[in-house]
Amino acid sequence: MSSSNTTKLALFKPVPGTSEPFRASDFNSNMDKIDAEAVAIDTRIDAIDVEIAAIEAELLVLDGRADSNDTLNTTQNNRLTAIEAVNATQTTRLDGIDTLNTTQNTRLTNIETLNTTQTSRLDGIDSLNATQNSRLDGIDTLNNTQNSRLTAIESLNTTQNNRLTAVEAKNVTQDSRLAVLEIAAGNPPVEFTVDGGTP
């Protein structure tokens, strides 16, 4: 006689061909084990049902959140589309600005080159002006000196003219007085004699 137990529930089972009897106690024991396992399975099923209910509730929450996300995604997509349109417009404007900046840089470079040339020319003019100012200062100084000398000469000439006028007037007076004296002395001056011996 020989028997063995099942792997999962350890149920009694006789080995066929060994004349092992299957007793009522073995049957009852097997049924008790099966019943206990069924109760445990029911308990586990109840727990699973609770978990499924919780999962279903969570799924409902997740569905709500997914709906909200879908709505938000639609809104965000619309905003992103608008932003992309603005970005495209800004890119076009920036390209225009870049082109304008390049043109302006070229113009500024030309202006700077011209300014450099003009600065050199102005430096030359400033240097020439400084030289001319120095020469003009010299001329002004000389003119002032010459004016002073001319003023002195003119003053001297006026004085001399006055003195000569006085001398000439005095000479005229003296000539008149001499003529009177010479006539009185019987020796008239030449201008009072008669030419050719006229009586």
Residue 15 DSSP label = P
Contact predicate 190/175, CB 8 Å: no
Does the pLDDT at position 149 exceed 80?
yes
Instruction: Give the residues across from 3 on adjacent strands.
Output: 14
Contact predicate 10/33, CB 8 Å: yes
Domain ranges of the chain: 1-95
- Exposed/middle/buried for residue 26 (C-beta within 10 Å: 0-12, 13-18, 19+): middle
- Exposed/middle/buried for residue 58 (C-beta within 10 Å: 0-12, 13-18, 19+): exposed
pLDDT tens digit sequence for 10-28: 887 877 777 777 788 888 9
pLDDT tens digit sequence for 98-147: 999 999 999 999 999 999 999 999 999 999 999 999 999 999 999 999 99
Sequence-separated (6 or more) residues with CB below 8 Å from residue 21:
1, 14
Does the pLDDT at position 78 exceed 60?
yes
3-class state of residue 187 by DSSP:
coil
pLDDT, residue 3, reads 75
